[in-house]
Amino acid sequence: MSTTNELLTAIKTEFKNRLNALKTCEIHPGRFNLQELKRLSAKTPALLVSSLGTVKVNNPGTGEAKPVKQLVVYIVTKTTAQLSAEEACRNLVDAIEHYLESESPRWGVNGTGQPQAIRSDNLYSSEVDKNGVMLWAITWQQHLTLGESLFIEDGTLPSQLYVGDNTGSYEPL
């Protein structure tokens, strides 16, 4: 079993370990406004990981639930002596897209599926530009498993297998 909090913490930790030039890598409550952007502009490059919600919840019939989470990583950069804010942001976007697609990370969290529907969006606006930063968002969907399976996986194999039909009767194989 895993939780959304465990998943977000694992994603944050993985990006922090892989992208050691980041000044900020944290879990964020969700979408953010101009005030939040101003707060972050001094601590760039920054990655902000969040869950935007649940797309749907699948029921595998095992007593578990498999919600499909809509996840996001916001990327905030500013111009340095080496790179413009735009170039730095696009470089991070490329690196993260490549990682999500080629590595299919499960983040070390049991019961987590691979990233699906990966999308990147440039969130540039005149308000963002006035703060001297560049802002992108990469979103993806990923399922996780909530609850415990009704089926015990203790290595014990059944001594007899049965086959059922649509009349409700069962016969040994």
List of residues 6+ apart from 122 with CB closer than 8 A:
135, 136
Closest Cα to residue 139, out of 66, 54, 47, 74? 74
Closest Cα to residue 149, out of 110, 121, 120? 110
- Low-confidence winner among 104-118, 121-135, 142-156 (lowest mean pLDDT): 142-156
Number of H helices, E strands in the chain: 4, 7
Give the per-residue pLDDT at 150: 61
pLDDT digits (tens, 9 = 90+) for 75-91: 999 999 999 999 999 99
Q: Report the mean per-residue pLDDT for the chain.
A: 89
Give the mean model confidence (pLDDT) for residues 90-101: 97
pTM value is 0.83
Question: Greater confidence, 155 or 65?
Answer: 65
User: Rounded to whole angstroms, how far apart are CA atoms 62 and 47?
Assistant: 36
Give the mean model confidence (pLDDT) for residues 124-147: 91
Give the mean model confidence (pLDDT) for residues 40-57: 92
Give the per-residue pLDDT at 154: 67
Give the per-residue pLDDT at 156: 64
